[in-house]
Amino acid sequence: MRSLYGKFLSFTTGIMLTSVVVAFLIVNTYYHHQLKGQNDAKNMNIARTIAEYIETEEPADLAHYFSMQAASGYKLFVVNEDREAIMYGTPFRVENLRIASVDQVLDGERYHGMRDLKTETFMTGFFSDQLANTVGVPFTYNGQSYALFMRPDIKFLFTEVHFLLGGMVVVMAVVSLLSMLIVAKKLIEPITKLTVAAKKVGDEKFTGSLHINRRDEIGQLAQSFQQMTEKLSENDRVRKEFISDVSHDFQSPLLNIKGYANLLMNSELPEQERQSYAKVIQSETERLSSLTKQLLLLTSLDQLVSPLKQTKFSLDEQIKEIIRKQRWLLEEKQMSLVMELDEVEMIGNAAFLEKVWENLLSNALKYTEMGGEIDIRLTDRTDEVKIIFRDTGAGIAEEHLSRLFDRFYRVDHSRTRETEGTGLGLSIVHQVVKLHGGNVEIDSEEGIGTTFTVTLPKL
């Protein structure tokens, strides 16, 4: 597999070469359609001026005059009517002028060799050092006919400025290429770091941080990747704790059931003890059943990808029904209940919200002593509803409040088995309320009691 750096170099080189080819084709097309004819006309005017000067001024030394013109940057090829030719200036690389072209000029016509030279590129046209690549004009001197063929000397076309410009282009190309190599290295370096970090994440190694301090898109990508890694690390920690907690919470009641079941197998066991052991087994079985149901509910909430199936229902009637189901426990613990519920028509998932009120009421009943008090209020507001569950139980220390919604988290592991929960109820409360776009607040003080305030938007 080719590296990104190699691909970048290949693409850069390809773009540069393509640019050169495209630029060459454009310049070549422009030369053939515009410059070729203009260059021929320009040199033809110069040749005509030379011929007119000779015919009007009749210089005493014609050879000296042509030598002066050649020294000023031109190649001159002069043929008299006897077909005798003289070259002024540096020789042509190729002397391929046809006799017919010479006769044409001696007969008084002009020769447009620059315009009519068949070439594919401007390099082989404009810079072609051929005798055929000239312009020709007739002139007379001392009563004799002559043919003058002329073109600029190539070496005079390239002045110091041209060399400076050419050198500047070469330096720019070299500097640009080196700069692109350095820039490519700098651009790809953080991507290489991200690739290494991604491989570590793939191996479930979430430690370490990316030292990429950039403010561009790559910097944003690195920041997002770092946040994702931290989230994955936290999820991995929670997952491992979850597995450990689930294993522990299943293992403990299973061991109790197994131990008491072995005791029940003793045929000489007194009936009173047999009933006591059977009651423990029943209690642990119910605990396992409750734990399984709550785990299934949490799993369904975690995997919920579509919007909640919402219906319109009476929220106050739902809370009243939950209270009616727990009436026996209120009477058993001789607890007083204060209930103030506004009539509220709510749009939401009735089944999920029912679990919220069940868990909140169950917590209040479970952790409030005999003769305590529970206060439940439902307040209807303009754009939201507020539900309050307040008890006069043991309360919760402040250091535990931030973790109450964590799965399997219990404030007091020393509670008796009869009051010990699964540690999942408040997690279900938090997640269901969050799915409905609401929030849950906790206010608790040890020895005073606990208040849960649920706020839900009215959809």
Q: Which helix (H) or strand (E) holds 163?
A: helix 160-202
- Separation of CA 395 from chain center: 48
Residue 285: pLDDT above 70?
A: yes
What pLDDT does residue 191 have? 78
Q: For residue 124, is pLDDT > 70?
A: no
pLDDT score, position 112: 93
133-162 mean pLDDT? 84
> Closest by alpha carbon to 375, among 290, 294, 443, 446?
443
Q: Does the pLDDT at position 3 exceed 80?
A: no
For residues 396 and 411, the answer to whether their CB atoms sit within 8 Å is: yes
The pLDDT of residue 254 is 85
- What type of residue sits at position 133? N
**Averaged over 101-130, what is the pLDDT?**
82
Rounded percentage of the chain residues whose pLDDT exceeds 90: 27
**Cβ contacts of residue 288 below 8 Å, gap of 6+?**
250, 253, 254
pLDDT at 293: 75
Give residue 228's pLDDT. Answer: 84
Alpha-carbon gap, residue 45 to 57, rounded angstroms: 18
Least confident of 97-101, 110-114, 287-291, 394-398: 287-291
Range in 132-141, 265-274, 310-319, 434-443 the model is least confident about: 265-274
Q: Strand, helix or coil at 88?
A: strand
Cβ atoms of 380 and 343 closer than 8 Å: yes
Give the mean model confidence (pLDDT) for residues 207-226. Answer: 76
What is residue 120's predicted lDDT score, i.e. its pLDDT?
63
Q: Given this model, what pLDDT does residue 80 score?
A: 93
User: How much is the average pLDDT of 94-107?
Assistant: 92
For residue 197, what pLDDT band results from cuts at 50, 70 and 90? confident
The span from the CA of 297 to the CA of 352, in Å, is: 9
Question: Of 251 and 365, which is predicted with more confidence?
Answer: 365
pLDDT at 14 over 90: no
Domain ranges of the chain: 4-157, 307-457
Task: Decide if pLDDT at 455 tops 90.
Answer: yes
Percent of residues, the chain, with pLDDT higher than 70: 87
Q: What is the pLDDT of residue 235?
A: 74
Cβ atoms 443, 396 nearer than 8 A: no
Q: What is the pLDDT of residue 292?
A: 78
Q: Is 128 left (phi over 0), alpha (psi -120 to 50) or beta?
A: beta
Judge whether residue 418 has pLDDT over 60.
no
Owner of token pair 């447009």: 112
CA atoms within 13 A on the CB side of 92: 22
Q: Which residues are CB-contacts of 27 (< 8 A; sequence separation ≥ 6)? A: 122
Does residue 440 contact residue 360 with C-beta atoms inside 8 Å? no
pLDDT of residue 238: 67
Q: Cα-Cα-Cα-Cα dihedral of 116, 117, 118, 120, to 10°?
A: -120
pLDDT at 122: 62
User: How many other β-carbons are positioned within 10 Å of the β-carbon of residue 67?
Assistant: 14
Q: How far apart are CA 122 and CA 277, in angstroms?
A: 107
Asked if the model's pLDDT at residue 88 lies above 80, the reply is: yes
Domain 307-457 has CATH 3.30.565.10: yes
**Encoding tokens for residue 365?**
């009943």
Query: Quick check: 151 and 62 in contact, CB under 8 A?
Result: no
Q: What is the pLDDT of residues 363-417, one digit of tens each?
A: 898 888 888 999 999 999 888 999 999 999 888 888 888 878 877 666 654 443 3
pLDDT recorded at residue 331? 86
pLDDT tens, 291-337? 777 777 766 666 665 567 888 999 999 999 989 888 888 888 888 99
pLDDT score of 180: 80
pLDDT of 245 > 70? The answer is no
Q: Is residue 163 very low, low, confident or very high in pLDDT (cuts 50, 70, 90)?
A: low
How many beta carbons lie within 10 A of that of residue 97, not counting itself? 23
Residues 305 and 276: their CA atoms lie apart, in Å, by 46
Look at residues 77, 58, 65 and name the one whose alpha carbon lies nearest to residue 144. 58
CB within 8 Å of 65: residues ≥ 6 apart: 54, 59
Q: What is the mean pLDDT of residues 183-212?
A: 77
* pLDDT value of position 37: 84
- Name the token pair of 219: 């910097």
Confidence at residue 458, expressed as pLDDT on a 0 to 100 scale: 81
Give the 3-state secondary structure of 96-145. CCCHHHHHHHHCCCCEEHHHHCCCCCCCCCCCCCECCCCEEEEEEECCEE
Helices (H), 303-391: 315-325, 327-332, 350-366
DSSP string, 15-73: HHHHHHHHHHHHHHHHIIIIIHHHHHHHHHHHHHHHHHHHHHH--S-HHHHHHHHHHTT
Q: Span 4-157: which CATH code?
A: 3.30.450
Question: How large is the average pLDDT for residues 146-170?
Answer: 77
In tens, the pLDDT along 176-190 reads 888 888 877 777 777
User: Is pLDDT larger for residue 408 or for residue 150?
Assistant: 150
Count CB atoms within 10 A of the CB of residue 47.
Answer: 23
